[in-house]
Structure 1
Amino acid sequence: MSRISELVEELCPDGVLHRRLGDVAEISGRNVAPKDMGDGDVNIYSLPAFDRNRTPEILSGTSVGSAKTKLSDPAVLVPKLNPHIPRVWRLENLPDRAYCSPEFYPLKPDSTILEIGFLYHYIANKIEWLAGTVTGSTNSHKRLQRDDYLNLRLPVPPLEVQREIVRILDQFTQLEAELEAELEAELEARQTQMKYVASTLLDGDQLALTTSESIRDLCNINRGVVISKDYLTEHPGAFPVYSSQTTDFGVFGYIDTFAFNDHEAITWTTDGANAGSVFYQRDKKYTITNVCGRLVVKDDRLLTSYLYYQLKYRAKNYVSQGMGNPKLMANQMGAIMVPLPSIQEQERIISILGPMESLTADLISGLPAEIQARRKQYEYYRDKLLTFKELAA
């Protein structure tokens, strides 16, 4: 930071010129039909490619489905559509035969005045504001026009100042990416460890020697009822409704009544992409929807929390995939066989898996907050570094 202060004091102590973006950069490129791309491989910078780790798709020219914009010079790709998703792509070293989706504008800076990295960080800093200026029936239909970008006014400090700012912001970006990768790796390691320990405890040789019984013989089984979003709106309250969600412990919403008042129970998702997801309910007054089931243990040889761990790691194996709609219905759940070790052994298993699950849950909940905190810190410094006093006319 001190180096930037020194450069500003030396090179632009009275402020910097603020220029219209269209005066220091242009929207470049020309549209090319697939038939004119030839048979060789081409690099396609598309919206899906951005979302997949910012790696271009490599296709043969004749297999490209529609016209693309030819890229000949380094550029910053900025989005036309869905600007609420900040897809800003910095392309400094273009491969041969590079094209971008027409849903991007390629912004080519005048390199004698504007560093491409400075332009990239400036647009990244402005994209949220730009998204708020456009209209559309939904976020997915909001669209930015050429002049929305070209009419932006930006500070244009001397190139030496720009380069130092880019160096610092690139370093921030790299540190943020490394932190995110480190936290995600730690989470993955914890989850892998949890699965290994659970597999050892729940499917080990010792349990294989115990008796097993079906869930229908060990539990009372219930299905839920249809509850619409309108019903949630019309009957707000404090009692949770569990459904097919996997976030927020399966909570669909809250209403003013409840169907069950359980000391201990297990709920699970019966239909859809999340079929087989299992949740442990303790001292809860709640309701379940028609895509959710409920288990209440009726046999004193089985602990509910032990059954929860058995199903957490095994229920997905019983999900049927017929007709493209995954299901784990009540009859399928009821047929699952559960090993029944002694109560003491069940308690031992719970005492090991419970703390491990809590640690993993804490990491899962803390990961987004930690990443967001670092991102806010980066955005704060980015905004500070890109703000300059305007040179008086």
Structure 2
Amino acid sequence: MSKLTELLDEISSGEVVRARFSDVCDYVRGVTYKKDQEVTSCTLGGIKLLRANNITVGSNTLNFDDVKCVSPEVKVSERQKLSAGDILICAGSGSREHVGKVAFIEEGMPYTFGGFMAVIRTSDDLRSRYFYHVLSSGLFKSYLQTALTSTTINNLSARIMANFTFPLPPLKVQQEIVQMLDAFTDLEQSLVSELELRTTQMSEYIDDIFENLDAESTTLGSVGKFTRGSSLQKKDFVDSGIPCMHYGQVFTQYGLSTKNTVAFVTTQFAAGKRTMKPGDLFVATTSENDEDLGKAVAWLGHEEVVVGTDAYIYSHDLDPKFVSYFFASSSFQLQKRRFITGTKVRRISDKAMSTFEIKVPAREVQQDIVTQLDAFEALIQSIEQEISLRRKQYEFYRDELLRFTPRET
């Protein structure tokens, strides 16, 4: 008999009740502050503040990207300071998928949380780590789908949370469920750490190759041509038809090359539009941040692809993946910095990129470089696939372990 079967038998024969959130949890909303109370550094008494972007969707883990600091004059109560065992939850967002995402606070930390966030603290009858798994489950997501209406989509209020009910087994069973599920999350986190390491190594390898390449320098404009795309909006997409690429998809749904697109337009719409031919690069020239600006995707498919106006088509006679790897290198990134324009929306022009220097070795050397870097990329993709499989495995066992019929309290 498997450990899962044994645990399910124990749950089914145990005393399980249906608990109401308001009876076993405390819900604390975050700190409100004005824009002019933000400070650039926390070193001089500033307070570190977590927001919705600091919870990673999918993995339900904390990240410390773009942590805000606020003035020590901002009022922060003791209840609004993060403690070990807290569950941090996104209580308000302009995006429906972010509302209700959670992260578990392993240990106390000198952070507070913003007004669109909340912290959940549990009673003695409810292990906070068990409840974290409940809030990560389909049970809670299903509740939010019915509880959040068009007028409350951006606000997960205390009233909405108060009415959430969930199965509450004895503390011993809660702990056993936690131990089993944490084994999966720990494995996933080790894979995530491995992915971060390999990704960093690949970036360093790319930089080393292009910095030390023994070849004559030329410019992107001398070995290729930039052509702006045509008008293309998301409302123009259809389920199948002529392949198209939109800049908004490139940062999240494409790597450095692809043989397939995730979007299509009709034959009628594609007529007369500018297209990318096999071997060309899609270059995103609009972004909300400098890092993503200029991301290139080599098109390795066999059809022509309609390209939107917030991108350029780079046509050339080089190895397509060699060029896309160059666009990912520090050599390209350093050259683009002084040509970036715009404030909230950042842009770079074809005229500027045409002046960027690139070392171009013989074709066979380009192909050898691509072979080396492709091996790195394949390793990274295999780790990403393993993470995806382990996450699905966790979700399956989590939902199995939480699928019991409790009696009402």
> 2:209 matched to 1:197?
yes
> RMSD between aligned alpha carbons?
4.6
Aligned to 1:132: 145
Farther off after superposition, 143-152 or 272-281: 272-281
Deviations 1:168-192 (A, max 9, x none): 2223222211121112322332332
> 2:322 matched to 1:331?
no
How many residue pairs were aligned? 369
> 2:336 matched to 1:321?
no
Structure 1 residues 285 and 13: alpha-carbon distance in aligned structure 2, compared to 1, 3 A threshold: closer
Aligned to 1:348: 364
Larger radius of gyration: 1
> 2:196 matched to 1:184?
yes
Q: Secondary structure at the match of 1:195?
A: helix
- Once the 2 structures are TM-superposed, how far is the Cα of residue 365 of structure 1 from its aligned partner? 4.3
Structure 1 residues 168 and 24: alpha-carbon distance in aligned structure 2, compared to 1, 3 A threshold: farther
Aligned to 2:154: 142
How far apart, CA to CA, are the structure 1 residues paired with 2:393 and 2:367? 39
In the superposition, the TM-score normalised over structure 2's length comes to 0.69
Aligned to 2:406: 390
Equivalent pair of 1:214/1:337 in contact (CA under 8 Å)? yes
How far apart, CA to CA, are the structure 2 residues paired with 1:290 and 1:137? 33
- Once the 2 structures are TM-superposed, how far is the Cα of residue 380 of structure 1 from its aligned partner? 1.4
Counterpart of 2:62 (choices 40, 45, 53) is 53
Counterpart of 1:238 (choices 231, 235, 242) is 242
Equivalent pair of 1:130/1:148 in contact (CA under 8 Å)? no
Aligned to 1:286: 305
Aligned to 1:226: 230
Identity over the aligned pairs, expressed in percent?
Answer: 18
Farther off after superposition, 84-93 or 172-181: 84-93
Query: 1:1-393 maps to which residues of 2 (within 5 A)?
Result: 14-22=13-21, 24-27=23-26, 46-50=51-55, 53=62, 62-64=72-74, 69-70=79-80, 75-82=86-93, 84-85=97-98, 86-91=100-105, 94=108, 100-111=113-124, 113-125=125-137, 126-137=139-150, 141-201=153-213, 204=214, 207=215, 210=216, 213-219=218-224, 221-229=225-233, 232-233=236-237, 237-241=241-245, 245-246=250-251, 247-248=253-254, 249=257, 253-255=263-265, 256=267, 257=270, 259=274, 262=277, 264-272=279-287, 273=290, 274-281=292-299, 283-297=302-316, 303=318, 305=320, 308=323, 311-312=326-327, 313=329, 314-319=331-336, 320-324=339-343, 327-336=347-356, 346-390=362-406
Structure 1 residues 331 and 62: alpha-carbon distance in aligned structure 2, compared to 1, 3 A threshold: closer
Equivalent pair of 1:223/1:289 in contact (CA under 8 Å)? no
- Once the 2 structures are TM-superposed, how far is the Cα of residue 377 of structure 1 from its aligned partner? 0.7
Q: Secondary structure at the match of 1:84?
A: helix
How far apart, CA to CA, are the structure 2 residues paired with 1:77 and 1:348? 53
How far apart, CA to CA, are the structure 2 residues paired with 1:30 and 1:252? 39
- Once the 2 structures are TM-superposed, how far is the Cα of residue 162 of structure 1 from its aligned partner? 1.9
- Once the 2 structures are TM-superposed, how far is the Cα of residue 238 of structure 1 from its aligned partner? 1.8
Equivalent pair of 1:4/1:161 in contact (CA under 8 Å)? no
Equivalent pair of 2:322/2:369 in contact (CA under 8 Å)? no
Deviations 1:155-209 (A, max 9, x none): 33222222222222223222211121112322332332233234333xx3xx2xx
